[in-house]
Structure 1
Amino acid sequence: MTNDPLAPLLALADVEPSFAEARARVDEALRHRALRRNGGQVAAEVGLRAAVASAALEDHRHDLAAVRAGTVTDPVVQGSLRVSEALDGLVDLWPRAPRQVLARLHMLAARGAVAEADLGRLLSGAERIDALAALVAGNERTPPMLLAAIVHAELLTLRPFAGPAGVVARAAARLTLVSRGFDIRGLVGVEEGHLAREPEYVGSAGAYATGTPDGVRSWLRHYAAAVTAGAGELVRIADEVLAPSGK
């Protein structure tokens, strides 16, 4: 028996097998030998690429090499980088005070992109944000990937903050995966998985917003595919780190 309110979603067609496959791919990627001695280097690269991908999904697209070189001043890219750098320090707070963390994420993401008075301030959807916060806080029942997917979709649908609200949604989902132990070191760049499947990402998010079982199923299957793609990207980055060139 379970009192998990999201448990019925796993019964939607093909959702549970998709999640199981994604979990297996993540577990395999996290066993990569580069992570034993070069985990910090890999994590830094994953964070950089995830931040660039998240900004691109807000239609602020820049070359990775240019961002790495520090020549990109786009405020959305800079905000996404700030968010990525701050995630480790927010992991413990997220399940205890999710609304506070969401406000903090928006302040980091949107600085320089929206009016200062709007930083960290909800513009809409307060009741659904309250419900989402209640779902996140202290929730040890919902499987981590399922909870992360719903957190992401709810915030993406509501877009309750001004400016790059999608950056906040993706960061909150990442915090969910990390805080619940699915990806405790934050090494799976799901953002890159979303970007690699961008038309599906946009379409399935729109389908989720309809609230129909088929729409929710579409989103959950996409989320599992994005996690799987993020695991594949982790392997590629780890392989680069082990290569003789160091790249």
Structure 2
Amino acid sequence: MSPAQGSVPDAVRAAGEIATWPAVAAAVDEARQACTALRWHQALRRRIPEAAAESRVRGAAASMELEGARLPVDVVRDLMRGAVGWHDPLDPVERVAKGTIAATAATESFTAATAPLQVLARLHLLAAAELVPADELGRPRNDDEDCRELLEVSPAPAADEARMRLRGVVALMSALDVVPVPVAAALAHAELVHSRPFTRANGTVARAVERYIVRAGGLDPTGVAVTEAGHGEAGGAAYLGALSGYARGDRDGVTLWMTQAIGALTRAAREGERVADAVLAGKLGDSDG
């Protein structure tokens, strides 16, 4: 059973059980070691804000690419710092990119004390601002609304099931002192993609929520790990394939996603080290895509 298919307490209990599976536990240990190594990087002694800002740049670029909207990292950097503006009207790539940039940037403003529903509502409002009517922003879809995103992962469940599973995500976000942070991050990400509680931008919100959990939960308190790039490095097909395995709901499928997603945190920390190296060397623009 997927963690959020039962009641809210069931979601936390199931997450705790999944954390004990040998392959998952091994991936958690590796991710923790990688994030600890990142935390002690020399550049992060005094230049955390600069490195974290660059992480959000690269994270936004990777997240939008997983949505099929690619922009070079140097362009994303200029957009995020306001050095260039958007076209008027926005083209289709920019509609996705603008929301992804805004949602990724907003993760920095939340803390562990921020109410999970507030995090989710704000992230969706930003991520979908250019994609849906205003009355669909910041709220789960109604019974008469469906979602046509991510059909390659699974059909979207009915709105009432999506709202129920969203309650499980909120429970995970509220239990970071109980559930290992890499497990909570991977499960929240998968549940948001599988349930698709919003009419649009569910994947963008899921990746932003993962970034938030990893930082607010203390796994990467500096916010320098590039969580989105950890998923993107394996490629979009592998990312969607692992999410499809999770959507099956059996142990093999859930294990496939969990090991790949938590492994992505290890890759995210290594990309964070590259960010920190570039900050230290004063060469942030040298590795742009």
Q: Answer whether TM exceeds 0.5 for this pair.
A: yes
Match of 2:59 among 50, 53, 57: 50
What is the CA distance between 1:244 and its match in structure 2?
A: 5.9
Deviations 1:184-227 (A, max 9, x none): 12111110010111222111111000100001100111012211
Please identify, of 206-215 and 118-127, the stretch whose mean Cα deviation from structure 2 is larger: 118-127
Matched, 1:126 2:163: yes
Q: Which amino acid aligns with 1:105?
A: L
Match of 2:269 among 231, 237, 245: 231
Structure 1 residues 88 and 68, CA gap change in structure 2 (3 angstroms): closer
1:41 alignment partner in structure 2:
50
Matched, 1:115 2:133: yes
Aligned mates of 2:246, 2:51 — CA distance in 1: 33
Secondary structure at the residue paired with 1:14?
Answer: helix
1:176 alignment partner in structure 2:
213
Is contact 1:190-1:227 (8 Å) kept?
A: yes
2:154 alignment partner in structure 1:
none
Which stretches in structure 2 are left out of the alignment for 5+ residues?
1-11, 88-93, 142-158
Q: Which amino acid aligns with 2:238?
A: E
Structure 1 residues 232 and 164, CA gap change in structure 2 (3 angstroms): same
Secondary structure at the residue paired with 1:194?
Answer: helix
Match of 1:101 among 116, 119, 128: 119
Match of 1:81 among 93, 98, 101: 101
Pairing of 1:134-153 with structure 2 (within 5 A): 134-153=171-190
Is contact 1:82-1:108 (8 Å) kept?
A: yes
Is contact 1:54-1:170 (8 Å) kept?
A: yes
Q: Which amino acid aligns with 2:221?
A: I
2:38 alignment partner in structure 1:
29
Aligned mates of 1:21, 1:117 — CA distance in 2: 43
Q: Which amino acid aligns with 2:166?
A: I
Secondary structure at the residue paired with 1:127?
Answer: helix
Aligned mates of 2:41, 2:14 — CA distance in 1: 35
Is contact 2:31-2:182 (8 Å) kept?
A: no
Aligned mates of 2:49, 2:42 — CA distance in 1: 13
Aligned mates of 2:133, 2:113 — CA distance in 1: 26
Is contact 2:35-2:269 (8 Å) kept?
A: yes
Match of 1:189 among 226, 236, 244: 226
Task: Tell me how many residue pairs correspond in the alignment.
Answer: 243
Q: Which amino acid aligns with 2:218?
A: G
Secondary structure at the residue paired with 2:249?
Answer: coil
2:110 alignment partner in structure 1:
90
Structure 1 residues 192 and 246, CA gap change in structure 2 (3 angstroms): closer
1:165 alignment partner in structure 2:
202
Match of 1:200 among 210, 230, 238: 238
Is contact 2:59-2:226 (8 Å) kept?
A: yes
For the aligned residue pairs, the C-alpha RMSD in angstroms reads 1.9
Is contact 2:112-2:217 (8 Å) kept?
A: no
2:146 alignment partner in structure 1:
none
Is contact 2:28-2:182 (8 Å) kept?
A: yes
What is the CA distance between 1:93 and its match in structure 2?
A: 4.3
What is the CA distance between 1:139 and its match in structure 2?
A: 4.6
What is the CA distance between 1:90 and its match in structure 2?
A: 2.0
Aligned mates of 2:280, 2:30 — CA distance in 1: 26
Matched, 1:155 2:181: no
Q: Which amino acid aligns with 2:45?
A: R
Secondary structure at the residue paired with 1:182?
Answer: coil
Deviations 1:25-49 (A, max 9, x none): 1111111101112221111110111
Aligned mates of 1:139, 1:34 — CA distance in 2: 28
